[in-house]
């Protein structure tokens, strides 16, 4: 097999459709990737599908089922799929085998799967069975679609996003602590969308004690474009993680009354993360402390633990203390800022705490990847340059 492939205009058209289908699974597939598949025969789409939820059939199987429901013969068809078909048995049978058994003639994939269980093996299995295989069509778009999954697979830690709502002068609360509401209702709905795309939400005990948040995904508050993807509330429930080095959490807080699992992260002795289950939904994890500060947990250790339980991405919703600590420990990938056209003044609370920098060479550099208007606010997505959140 060669990596040098030529794709036609129709190949581009059908792969764009496959990518659009894959997007439908972004809220429910993790820890699996979001994948779309389109089956084409004689210039017509005869089946299409996407991976709906982890543990359920993959996109290729859904597309084959769709064709069968329409009584259409897939033998000799081309399958356009946004990720290399799997060749191993997991919770579902290998998709590569399903495509071969169905008589698929050609497979066009957007990209190879970096998962060691798959990488290249799916393509080889197909080629060995006589299927014409090519890949690399819209690879950048496919990578962007599953950047959290891909980052986690390659680096062994979740993709970490910091979320902030702030004023134009980067303030998150007045001097008296009042912060409701700096940003618009549209921004708050968009935050619900962000939460729904994350497997875990991390906050600090200080934030929980002060604000008593639920940190859940509230279906009625999701943007309409998201709710239209589902016939009913799919029950998206991210893990809630509370950094609680001072044992301030009482278990009576509001978020413990909401569905879903809660992890309370406290500092512990030794080099390993240990877990103590309090109930079916609540656990305390003891995380090694930072070497330079025994009161602060090592986020790198916490991220490794979360990866071990298949958490691919984490969103941080917390105050400047925890956020600045994560940045100081070089363990963040992205910051999403909702900036309101308001000025709160130097006596208001700044978004970031001290980072202990002594030269411009130490200043973390980010790249703006997206800017969008959300209601009356601006949403800015920035990604840390290479060097952030890399394994040691």
Q: How many residues does the chain have?
A: 392
Distances (CA, A) of 40 to 34, 75, 85: 20, 10, 17
Q: How far apart are CA 28 and CA 51, in angstroms?
A: 9
Structure tokens at 178: 């009042």
For every one of its 392 residues, what pLDDT tens digit does the chain have, with 9 covering 90 and above? Answer: 446 688 999 999 999 999 999 999 999 999 999 999 999 999 999 999 999 988 889 999 999 999 999 999 999 999 999 999 987 666 666 888 899 999 999 999 999 988 877 778 889 999 999 999 999 999 999 999 999 999 999 999 999 999 999 999 999 888 887 778 899 999 999 999 999 999 999 999 999 998 888 899 988 888 888 888 888 888 889 999 999 988 899 999 989 988 889 999 998 888 888 999 999 999 999 999 887 777 788 999 999 999 999 999 999 999 888 999 899 888 899 999 999 999 999 899 888 888 888 888 888 889 999 999 999 999 999 999 865 444 44
Catalytic residue, candidates 60, 84, 317, 334: 60
Question: 358: exposed, middle or buried (C-beta count within 10 Å: 0-12, 13-18, 19+)?
Answer: exposed
- The yes-or-no answer on residue 221 being catalytic is no
What predicted TM-score, i.e. pTM, was given to this entire model?
0.89
Buried-exposed string 284-314: b where 16+ CB fall within 10 A, e elsewhere: bbbbbbbeeeeebbbbbbbbbbbbeeebbbb
């Amino acid at each position: 097999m060669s990596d040098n492939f030529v794709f036609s205009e129709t190949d581009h058209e059908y792969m764009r459709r496959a990518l659009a289908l894959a997007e439908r699974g972004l809220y429910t597939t993790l820890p699996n990737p979001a994948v779309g598949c389109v089956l084409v025969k004689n210039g017509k789409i005869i089946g299409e599908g996407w991976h709906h939820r982890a543990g359920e059939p993959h996109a290729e199987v859904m597309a084959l089922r769709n064709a069968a429901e329409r009584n259409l013969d897939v033998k000799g068809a081309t399958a356009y799929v946004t990720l290399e078909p799997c060749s191993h048995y997991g919770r579902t049978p290998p998709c590569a085998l399903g495509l071969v058994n169905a008589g698929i003639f050609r497979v066009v994939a957007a990209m190879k799967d970096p998962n060691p269980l798959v990488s290249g093996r799916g393509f080889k299995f197909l080629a060995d069975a006589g299927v014409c295989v090519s890949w690399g069509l819209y690879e950048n778009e496919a990578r962007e679609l599953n950047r959290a999954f891909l980052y986690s697979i390659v680096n062994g830690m979740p993709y970490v996003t910091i979320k902030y709502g702030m004023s134009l002068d980067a303030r998150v609360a007045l001097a008296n602590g009042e912060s409701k509401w700096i940003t618009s209702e549209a921004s708050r709905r968009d935050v619900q969308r962000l939460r729904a795309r994350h497997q875990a939400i991390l906050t600090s005990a200080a934030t929980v004690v002060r604000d008593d948040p639920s940190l859940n995904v509230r279906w009625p508050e999701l943007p309409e474009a998201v709710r239209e993807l589902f016939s009913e509330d799919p029950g998206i429930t991210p893990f809630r993680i509370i950094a609680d080095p001072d044992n301030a959490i009482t278990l009576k807080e509001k978020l413990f009354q909401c569905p879903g699992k809660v992890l309370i992260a406290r500092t512990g002795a030794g080099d390993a993360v240990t877990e103590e289950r309090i109930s079916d939904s609540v656990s305390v994890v003891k995380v090694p402390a930072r070497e330079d500060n025994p009161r602060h947990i090592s986020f790198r250790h916490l991220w490794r633990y979360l990866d071990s339980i298949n958490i691919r991405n984490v969103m941080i919703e917390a105050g400047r203390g925890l956020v600045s600590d994560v940045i100081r420990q070089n363990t963040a990938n992205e910051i999403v800022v909702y900036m309101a056209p308001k000025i709160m003044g130097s006596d208001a609370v700044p978004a970031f705490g001290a980072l202990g920098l002594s030269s411009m060479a130490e200043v973390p550099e980010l790249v703006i990847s997206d800017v969008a208007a959300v209601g009356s606010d601006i949403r800015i997505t920035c990604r840390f340059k290479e060097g952030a959140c890399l394994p040691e």
